[in-house]
């Protein structure tokens, strides 16, 4: 093979190698950019899921607090009713005792 042809083929091969390298670089850049975009989507999805989870936990805590609040109120109502009932049961006894004290005080003055 004559020298000029060999040189032409070497130049063609070098040009072809340069094109292959440029394409590989471009493809690598595209893959890196796609991986970055995918990573950002994954991070965003993780943020959204974390926020959703936090909201669910907050709602659950609110429900538990509301239930505890209602339980405490119910206990208070029951206790009040019991006290009112005991007071009602002793009402006559107290009236009699106060009347006796009054009568004693009136007799002591006479």
Mean pLDDT of 35-63: 98
The pLDDT tens digits of the residues spanning 23-32 come to 999 999 999 9
**Among 15-29, 68-82, 96-110, which stretch is predicted with the lowest mean pLDDT?**
96-110
Q: What is the dihedral of CA 39, 43, 48, 54, to 10 degrees?
A: 150
Residue 11 pLDDT greater than 80, yes or no: yes
Give the CA angle between residues 83, 86, 87 to the nearest 5°: 85
Q: Note the pLDDT of residue 1.
A: 60
Mean pLDDT of 5-13: 87
> What sign for the dihedral angle of Cα 51, 54, 60, 66?
negative
d(CA 91, CA 104): 20
Residue 105 pLDDT greater than 90, yes or no: no
The pLDDT tens digits of the residues spanning 60-94 come to 999 999 999 999 999 999 999 999 999 999 999 98
Mean pLDDT for the chain?
Answer: 93
């Amino acid at each position: 093979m004559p020298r000029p042809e060999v040189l032409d083929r070497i130049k063609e091969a070098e040009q072809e190698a340069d094109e292959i390298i440029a394409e590989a670089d471009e493809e690598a850049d595209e893959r890196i950019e796609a991986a970055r975009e995918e990573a950002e989507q994954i991070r965003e999805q993780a943020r959204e899921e974390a926020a959703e989870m936090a909201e669910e936990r907050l709602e659950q805590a609110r429900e538990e607090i509301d239930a505890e609040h209602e339980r405490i109120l119910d206990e208070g109502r029951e206790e009040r009713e019991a006290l009112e009932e005991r007071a009602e049961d002793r009402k006559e006894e107290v009236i009699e005792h106060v009347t006796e004290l009054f009568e004693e005080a009136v007799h002591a003055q006479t």
